[in-house]
Amino acid sequence: MKIYLIVGARPNLIKAAPLWKELKTRPWCETALVHTGQHYDAALSDDIIRQLGLPDPDHHLAVGSGSHAEQTAKIMTRFEDLCLKDRPNLAIVVGDVNSTLACALTAAKLCIPVAHLEAGLRSGDRSMPEEINRLVTDRLADIMWTPSPDADENLLAEGIPQSRITRVGNIMIDSLVQITPLLDSVRLDLPDGVTAGEYGLVTLHRPVNVDDADSFAVVCEALIGAARFAPLVFPVHPRTQGVLDRSGMADRMAAGRITLTKPLPYAEFMKLQRGARFVITDSGGVQEETTYLGIPCLTLRDTTERPVTLTEGTNELSAPAALSGHVEAIVQGHWKKGRTPDLWDGDTAKRVADDLERRKSSF
């Protein structure tokens, strides 16, 4: 059984790595890693591939950046060429990025079965490109592997038969469990005056927060307000760097106890996150990682597709205006403790491979 495991953007690599390693131990399948090239900077791609023990991709489509339509179309064209030359029996797509949607659509049209890892998450907000990617990918997928009960419920409510759905848990936690023993030996220099356990980590890259200079300025002012209670360390995503350069906010933030850094590879980033007193983010994966680590998380969004991080974990949604009040509460020790959701245990890749083994006679 020839399987394509498809990655494109940073979070895909973190989710695909444990599954790639697990499938390599199963004699009934042969797995090839396909990288679309949506992310190409070293810190967003090659460094993570190396740190997670992934091989160089078997196929690299080198699509690069572009508008949503350009990028999606380019991935589809190049992935179609590949599938026509070297047809797999199954395409596994992960997460909710443009590469996920583009490869699911291409494979489905070629009648290649599609499996979606991290299926069923819904924010209910169709202004997010990821929500469109999730909805369409799940309509097309033959197998849906979900991380939490809300995801199963969303799929069933959309009319997807139970037989296609298997709850496997959170694959991102597999990578976190695997990297944890290595973190002590990872070198990470904290900025001057910043002490482990006493700083806030910031990550922002969602279009709603960083594409418009006015909205970004509101967020930056909120961060400056929050930094009165604890210094902040802010690794800047390439998408965010553009608006930072245009807005002139970098100097104001530096003067307000906020250290801006380049994007960090996975291990360094996890070490920085593990050492944080709290996290301010708009990332999906970071909401999950903080819940697992038991670190207070403030999500600068109106909605989340990961509600279990609110109901069981340490996460709260926050408007920019409420941010410094929340940070003050956290540094004073007033925050919920949270618990680890079921099946966020480091064994998700095994459950995915077992499920595939059960289903493999149908491919």
What is the C-alpha separation between 360 and 30, in angstroms, rounded?
A: 13
Handedness of CA 139, 140, 143, 148 (dihedral sign): negative
Residues that bind ligand UD1 (CB under 6 A): 9-11, 38-41, 44, 65, 96-98, 129-130, 205, 238-239
3-state secondary structure of 212: coil
DSSP letters spanning 233-252: EEEPPHHHHHHHHHHTHHHH
How many Cβ atoms from other residues are within 10 Å of residue 117's Cβ?
A: 25
- Cβ-based nearer residue to ligand UD1, 69 or 111: 69
Residue 252 C-beta: closest distance to ligand UD1, Å: 23
User: Which among 35, 39, 116, 205 is annotated as catalytic?
Assistant: 205
Residue 129 C-beta: closest distance to ligand UD1, Å: 4
For the chain, count helices (H), then strands (E).
16, 13
Residue 205 C-beta: closest distance to ligand UD1, Å: 5
Residue 132 C-beta: closest distance to ligand UD1, Å: 9
Residue 210 C-beta: closest distance to ligand UD1, Å: 8
205 is catalytic: yes
Beta strand pairing status for 297-299 and 258-261?
A: unpaired
What is the C-alpha separation between 201 and 349, in angstroms, rounded?
A: 28
3-state secondary structure of 99: helix
What is the C-alpha separation between 332 and 363, in angstroms, rounded?
A: 56
- Cβ-based nearer residue to ligand UD1, 239 or 360: 239
DSSP 321: G
Amino acid at 19: L
- Cβ-based nearer residue to ligand UD1, 78 or 205: 205
Residue 266 C-beta: closest distance to ligand UD1, Å: 12
**Do you know the residue count of the chain?**
363
Tokens of 67: 């508008």
337, burial (CB in 10 Å: exposed 0-12, middle 13-18, buried 19+): exposed
What is the C-alpha separation between 319 and 309, in angstroms, rounded?
A: 17
What is the C-alpha separation between 110 and 173, in angstroms, rounded?
A: 33
Give the catalytic positions in this structure: 205
